[in-house]
Structure 1
Amino acid sequence: MLFYTDATNTSPSYTKLKLIKGKRHGDRLINESLFRQRSAIFASSSLYASALHRSMLMFLGPNRAFKDFSGPAVTHTFGVWKSDCVFGVHCIHTDILLFFRTRPRQHDWPPISILQDDSSILCQLVPVGCKGSCNQWMEWRFCFLGTELTLTKSFNDTQIKIYVLLKFVAKDILKCVSNEISSYIMKNITYWVSELLDSRVFQEQNLMLLLLIGLKFLKEAIDSNRLPYYMIPGRNLIFERLNLHTRWRLSHLLSYLLQEGPQFLLRCNKLRIGLLAMHMVPITLKHFGNKRELLESLFLLSFNVFILERHGCRVGNVRKQLWQKMFNIVLPEWKQLQRRIGNDIFWILNVK
């Protein structure tokens, strides 16, 4: 099936999907999302999300709990494990990021090589409509995972630390007021600060000052109830996320943090750990980073094996071996503990 994007009566960064070629075959989720409006056939994001919800219930089984969509991601839990999955469709759009690539900038970030990269025409559409839109149930949101990943990879060490510290602020301090200030919002703030300031400013000795600039940027966005999406500024990232009272409380808390200065970082365990990590010997930090990447890869591979099992494929004891490798990374003493306290907490290692 072939669709084209129809942005008629949609908000910036959102579109409708109109079928122009093909019949009902292939992707079952897309098939279940199709509906007719007058003489045209569209794919509904709401119907797609509902079909995905039903599919996950059937696929994951009753022992896996997952939450409904709060955005493009679906969070599902399995014991102590929690992961976010984002489902959508690939899209080629030659001019959706034209303004991003050509808008005037005073400084030299992003690098010109990223702005001229033709791969920016590749994007994704996720099944989330714009809140408050009369067409929310049929709208899809543009995402630019590849371009955003390239932007983040272009960060120097100081920009990375700003982003990490802003995430810690959101998760450990602002969370007491609202959960709506997400890591994604903090990433966009880091993008804007990186573009608006001279790249020579992003040095280790300016880290705390730059962190405060990022928090001031967030406060101004909350006060004005507008945070432009970095890729498409017409989209407001905090639109209908925060009510007036929550905005007032967040603004008041941010004012307090800005007045207190960098010392506020010592309030939180995660922030203290983050500060310690910044002063680790690089080879030690790299070692921990490699362990985390390996653990994530093993877990993803284990999940893929689980999918194969659910489809009736015979995979032997591959999943058990993968979990043993993960336990070896996280808790090398697990075999001794298993002998000492039994198999109850290591039941995953006993699957056949």
Structure 2
Amino acid sequence: MTRLGYGEQIRRWRVEKYKEQDSLMNARSSDVTVITAGSKAEGLTCYFESDRDDILVLEGIICVEAGIHLHTIPNGIGVYRMDTHAYSGHCRLLLERQARKHFKIIHNALCDNGQGDILLSSSLFLNEMSAVPHTKSVVYHKPAGPSLPTSIGREFHSDNVCALRCHCPSILQRWASRPRHWPSPVLVQKVVSLGANVTAVGFKESEFKHMEWRIGFNTGESELVNNLNDTQAKVYVMLKMIVKDVLRPSKKEITSYVMKNIVLWQAERNPQNKFYAQSFLHWLHDGLRALRTAIVTKQLSYYMIPERNLMAASGLTYRQQSHWVEVITDMMAEGPWVILGLPKIRRAVVASPEPMLWYSMKRMELEMLNMEYFNRYVNGVLDKSDAILQEIQRRLIEIMMEIKLRMIEEGCAVNDLTDIRYRMLK
């Protein structure tokens, strides 16, 4: 798994590079803060391996729990009161104070509930965001939940989720005060300090879902995953592979987010010294067992707000339940051989050691150079006379030519260097 790009060193490097990228992008705008989330923020996927998840936080607005006094919030900041009388982990937003800065998107999503309250509609907000003028080079796809997916060519795919900042100390303190083996008190306080956000999606089975917003902790969750040790991170990656390549849900009945929560619960409930390289298969089986239970019972508590059931309204059918339970049970019975059922792992295991090591080194260098190039692009450094940029471009071409020649030697006809780059980093 380390040679496939899931090792500790490259994982930590990716995390830092995406943080750097966010800082560079946010230096350009005061209206929206971009936060890389998901597998990219966790350093657990290669450059083109999965979609990029971006949280776009509108500045100048905050949503607060009951009991938070307006005088504690600076003037000019728009304030919405969170009505949490909804399905756990969701809320409705009641306008308390208009923001000094006018957002047309927000204004057009306001509704009168007929009782003297002004509410911010999640469905109208999403409609307004979808109607924002498009950039010509970007292809905009049909919204999926709170996400507005986009793509540029076949390489760059992004799930963009617009969000509002959320101040919910009581929810975070309930999470922080739980008895646990992990995370450490220092990390717990850091997660609390990172706060929360709300995104424009209600509970699927709610009568008022068009008015509801979902409470999330993206930055805090990324920080937690980034503090998993090497064994825990690899269990998480392997569980995601099993869902994608073996179970293959067609309508997101089971998602990688479910796997993340299983691993976080594992980490919290067990001593950290039990997670070491030789225990990998034990914890993989434990994760599979937890997944099987979640499928059978349609119940898995959200790590940050346990009252919220991540399997509620998942759309799981009885037929899917029966089939997936049987598949997972068979996988668990296979013991260590279970990993050979995953195409990516199987190819790496049967590959000759020397070519695999060579491939791994080239892929890692190619990814690092691409990230450095993109961060310079974000920073506005695209002067063709720039010596560092020239050296990055030269080395990129050199690596792709080396790969091309090796592929030709092994009987594979390839000509397009761009295609080689994409396939190496996917």
Q: Structure 1 residue 41 and structure 2 residue 115: aligned? A: no
Alignment of 1:113-262 (within 5 A): 113-117=186-190, 119-120=192-193, 122-175=195-248, 179-241=252-314, 242-262=316-336
- The letter of the residue matching 2:135 is L
- The letter of the residue matching 1:139 is E
Q: CA RMSD in A?
A: 3.9
Aligned to 2:141: 67
Aligned to 2:129: 52
- The letter of the residue matching 1:33 is A
Q: Given that residues 163 and 199 in structure 2 are in contact (C-alpha distance below 8 angstroms), is that contact kept between their aligned partners in structure 1?
A: yes
Residues 3 and 290 (structure 1 numbering): CA distance in 2 closer, same or farther, change over 3 Å?
farther
Q: Given that residues 83 and 94 in structure 2 are in contact (C-alpha distance below 8 angstroms), is that contact kept between their aligned partners in structure 1?
A: no
Shift of 1:200: 1.8
Residues 239 and 118 (structure 1 numbering): CA distance in 2 closer, same or farther, change over 3 Å?
closer
Corresponding residue SS for 1:84: strand
CA distance in 1, matches of 2:296, 2:417: 54
Shift of 1:271: 2.6
Corresponding residue SS for 2:248: helix
Structure with greater helix percent: 1
Q: Given that residues 97 and 121 in structure 1 are in contact (C-alpha distance below 8 angstroms), is that contact kept between their aligned partners in structure 2?
A: no
Q: Given that residues 93 and 122 in structure 1 are in contact (C-alpha distance below 8 angstroms), is that contact kept between their aligned partners in structure 2?
A: yes
Residue among 164, 167, 170 paired with 1:92:
167
CA distance in 2, matches of 1:177, 1:79: 24
Shift of 1:274: 6.9
Shift of 1:154: 1.4
By relative contact order (CA 8 Å, sep 6+), the higher-ranking structure is 2
CA distance in 1, matches of 2:235, 2:416: 44
CA distance in 2, matches of 1:195, 1:167: 19
- The letter of the residue matching 2:319 is H
Structure 1 unpaired stretches of 5+: 306-314, 346-352
Residues 275 and 76 (structure 1 numbering): CA distance in 2 closer, same or farther, change over 3 Å?
farther
Aligned to 2:103: 27
Which TM-score applies when normalising by structure 1?
0.78
CA distance in 1, matches of 2:306, 2:127: 29
Aligned to 1:2: 78
Residues 131 and 303 (structure 1 numbering): CA distance in 2 closer, same or farther, change over 3 Å?
farther
Q: Given that residues 194 and 219 in structure 2 are in contact (C-alpha distance below 8 angstroms), is that contact kept between their aligned partners in structure 1?
A: no
CA distance in 2, matches of 1:204, 1:341: 41
Shift of 1:99: 1.6
Which TM-score applies when normalising by structure 2?
0.66
Corresponding residue SS for 1:117: helix
**How many correspondences in the alignment?**
325
Q: Structure 1 residue 102 and structure 2 residue 170: aligned? A: no
Q: Given that residues 243 and 249 in structure 2 are in contact (C-alpha distance below 8 angstroms), is that contact kept between their aligned partners in structure 1?
A: no
Comparing 63-72 with 255-264, greater Cα deviation is found at 63-72
